[in-house]
Amino acid sequence: MIGDRLKQARQSAGFSLRALAEQTDVSAMAISKYERGEMTPGSDVLLRLSKSLGVRVEYFFRQATVRLEAVEFRNRASLSKADECRILADVQDRLERWQALDEIFPPSEEMCFAIPDQVPKKIRSGDDIEQAAIAVREAWELGHNPIPGLVDTFEEHGIRVIVTPYIGEESFDGLAGRAGDMPVIAVGSHWPGDRQRFTLAHELGHLILHGRLVDGLDEEKACHHFAGAFLAPKDIVIESLGRKRRWIEPRELMLLKQEFGLSMAAWTFRALELGVLDKTTHGKYWGYLRKHGWDKNEPGPRYRSEASHLFEKRVYHALAEDWLGESRAAELLGMPLVELRACRNMECPADAADQ
């Protein structure tokens, strides 16, 4: 058991066998034997390994109770095998921590993911996709307004979202999978919020639309459409832009992006999908964006990255009620005990760094 855990922690921290050996002064051969279960490390070695890997010693003895399955990477082409392993190990670790909390707070009925009944059984057209997006918004009681935090919204409706730190050199957009019955979506923490939100909404599209699209509708394109329609529903787009436009000022799109957390690029596609811009004008508009380099780097302030608050809130809730102890709470939050104590005292180093 220690072997698998050690390997997972090593991959998650991004160490090769050799790099970890150098850090800990334990031979690579020995570490490899520990990982394969051919040798058991003593407590002194375990302590050194745990320090270098940034985990508590208890981590090595924790039984994995949840497994990430049916994993699909997005934009897989640019990721190396080693990066994939690191990302998977990190996602797996965070899933296990969530699972530990689920044992304290069992997920309620409404926290189980289900496709709302109002979603059309057969999706035949763009209109059906718009309808599907509205149906999810209604079932989740989101109204028509911008959705402030998508991660917590997904979590509250039974989709586990893992925001994983950027690892490696190449782009990692996200991945989708399952842990038991629960859908899991992971996104990279380094991306601007509008990109993360689009990835999340696109993955929600797969969950909602998969198996419902008639022949001839491409699932990827349909999920892009769904993502836009979910983040900025039809009525709101018309209300914000008007029914028909000859041109749109870039600054309008920038302001809408800040309001809805939907990129300027995605807003132009909403305008096209809903006939606010015709195809020719949309093409010209893209030429104009490209000329300024705005197709790659959108102008204006960066939209804040998504973060999950639910997990942290629950850990403190459990702590307040004495359902778990300080050292367990620190382990779940992935922070040293001193830091947890500082946070309990409202002197969290992370808060100071944000200011």
Half-sphere exposure of 79 (CA within 13 A, CB side): 21
Task: Work out how close the CB of 79 gets to Zn ion at its nearest, in angstroms, rounded to a whole number.
Answer: 16
Nearest distance in Å: CB 76, Zn ion: 11
| 318/52 Cα distance (integer angstroms) | 29
Nearer to Zn ion, 200 or 340 (CB): 200
Least distance CB 227 / Zn ion (angstroms): 9
For Zn ion, which is the closer residue by CB, 159 or 340?
A: 159
Is the CB of 38 or the CB of 72 nearer to Zn ion? 72
50/263 with CB nearer Zn ion: 263
To the nearest whole angstrom, how small is the minimum distance from the Cβ of residue 104 to Zn ion?
34
Q: Look at phi and psi of residue 247 and say left if phi exceeds 0, alpha if psi is from -120 to 50, else beta.
A: beta
Structure-token match 């044992």, residue found: 103
**CB of residue 207 to Zn ion, shortest distance in Å:** 11
Contact 261, 146 (CB under 8 A): yes
Q: CB of 275: closest distance to Zn ion in angstroms?
A: 25
Q: What is the DSSP letter of 321?
A: T
80-64-34 Cα angle (round to 5): 70
CB neighbourhood size of 163 (10 A) = 22
DSSP-based three-state secondary structure for 212 = coil
Summary count for the chain: helices (H), strands (E) = 17, 4
Our CB check for Zn ion shows the closer of 10 and 224 to be 224
CB of 223 to Zn ion, least distance (A): 5
Output the smallest distance, CB 219 to Zn ion, in A. 7
Give 224-264 as a DSSP string: HHHHHHHHS-HHHHHHHH-S--S---HHHHHHHHHHHS--H
CB of 202 to Zn ion, least distance (A): 6
Name, in order, each residue with C-beta under 8 angstroms of 199's C-beta and a sequence gap of 6 or more: 74, 173, 174, 185, 187, 191
Cβ proximity to Zn ion: between 220 and 235 the closer is 220
What is the DSSP annotation of 161-174? EEEEPP-SSS---E
Q: How far is the CB of 324 from Zn ion (least distance, A)?
A: 37
Q: Cα–Cα distance between 81 and 84 in angstroms, integer?
A: 5
Q: Give the nearer residue to Zn ion in terms of CB position, either 223 or 262.
A: 223
| Nearer residue to Zn ion within complex by CB, 4 or 220 | 220
In whole angstroms, what is the distance from residue 323 CA to residue 249 CA?
Answer: 54
Q: Of 79 and 223, which CB lies nearer to Zn ion in the complex structure?
A: 223
Q: Which is nearer to Zn ion, 62 or 206 (CB)?
A: 206
Rounded to 5°, the CA angle 279-283-285 comes to: 115
Residues that bind Zn ion (CB under 5 A): 220, 223
| Lookup: tokens for 354 | 């944000």
The rounded distance, in Å, linking the Cα atoms of 73 and 327 is: 34
